[in-house]
A and B are shown apart, each in its own frame.
Chain A
Amino acid sequence: DIVMTQTPLSLSVTPGQPASISCKSSQSLLHSDGKTYLYWYLQKPGQPPQVLIYEVSNRFSGVPDNFSGSGSGTDFTLKISRVEAEVVGVYYCMQTLQFPYTFGQGTKLEIK
């Protein structure tokens, strides 16, 4: 299985400040079709995960440009340019390159 490792596991950020979450995969997520199958999700309390980013850097429909994704191969980063109350929750990375699909452990973001 591809192991997805997120750091940090928790993050406390002052409102208005940026935040960054790292996700490393145990194998490259680059497919022979040229796409890299790495997603980022945010799960707010009591809600299902909502997709933020697909294929490393593509913002999902309706996701504000406050969120951006980058990376390649095995190293990926989610950046939040300005932390506000609406971005509080648990962030997960996920790979869909290889079965079984796997998730990172989650990073809990809270407001300081």
Chain B
Amino acid sequence: QVQLQESGPGLVKASETLSLTCTVSGGSINGHYWSWIRQPPGKGLEWIGYIFSSGSTNYNPSLKGRVTISVDTSKNQFSLKLSSVTAADTAVYYCARLRGSYTNWGQGTLVTVSS
């Protein structure tokens, strides 16, 4: 059974770059689309973007070009970078595979942006 685990710093300074990695275990990262989703404390869910294992990406325009998602198939990992963060980027960040009966989510990791 595929499992996803987010990792990365829990605290990022304003104006810097948030970096997270998602490790996929129990299955191959190849041939699938992998997403990042976030949820500010007490609020709803926002899809950030996805990457296919080949490296093709699609991002949410609401993040205005601050997002980069990359993949390392040799490590079965994909990563998120969000630049120029502000307090509004404080959220629980989830990695996920959103595909019908193959849907899987990580447990999420809280990232707090400090001033």
B56 proximal to A (CB < 8 A): no
Interface members, chain B 73-115 (any A CB < 8 Å) = 94, 98, 100-101, 103, 105-108
User: In chain B, what residue has the closest Cβ to A104?
Assistant: B44
Q: Known: A51-B103, A54-B103, A55-B100. Is A101-B44 also a contact (CB below 8 A)?
A: no
User: In chain B, what residue has the closest Cβ to A103?
Assistant: B45
User: In chain B, what residue has the closest Cβ to A49?
Assistant: B105
Q: Known: A48-B106, A48-B107, A48-B108. Is A54-B101 also a contact (CB below 8 A)?
A: yes
Min Cβ gap B60→A in Å is 4
B7 proximal to A (CB < 8 A): no
A7 proximal to B (CB < 8 A): no
Q: Which one of A24-32, A77-85, A91-99 is at the interface?
A: A91-99
Chain B at the A interface: mostly helix, strand, loop or mixed?
mixed
B61 proximal to A (CB < 8 A): yes
Residues of the A chain whose Cβ atoms lie less than 8 Å from the Cβ of B45:
49, 92, 94, 103, 106
B47 proximal to A (CB < 8 A): yes
Residues of the B chain whose Cβ atoms lie less than 8 Å from the Cβ of A48:
94, 105-108
Cα of A39 to Cα of B97 in the assembled complex, Å: 13
User: In chain A, what residue has the closest Cβ to B60?
Assistant: A100
Q: Known: A48-B94, A48-B108. Is A100-B47 also a contact (CB below 8 A)?
A: yes
Min Cβ gap A19→B in Å is 20
User: In chain A, what residue has the closest Cβ to B107?
Assistant: A48
Contact yes or no, A101 B103, CB < 8 A: no
Contact yes or no, A99 B58, CB < 8 A: yes
A interface residues, Cβ below 8 angstroms from B:
39, 47-51, 54-55, 58, 60-61, 92, 94, 96, 99-106
10 residue pairs of the A-B complex, CB under 8 angstroms, read: A49-B94, A50-B105, A54-B101, A55-B100, A60-B103, A96-B98, A100-B49, A100-B60, A101-B35, A106-B44
B interface residues, Cβ below 8 angstroms from A:
35, 44-47, 49, 58-62, 94, 98, 100-101, 103, 105-108
Beyond contacts A61-B101, A101-B47: 7 other A-B pairs, Cβ-Cβ < 8 A, are: A48-B94, A58-B100, A94-B45, A99-B58, A100-B47, A101-B35, A102-B47
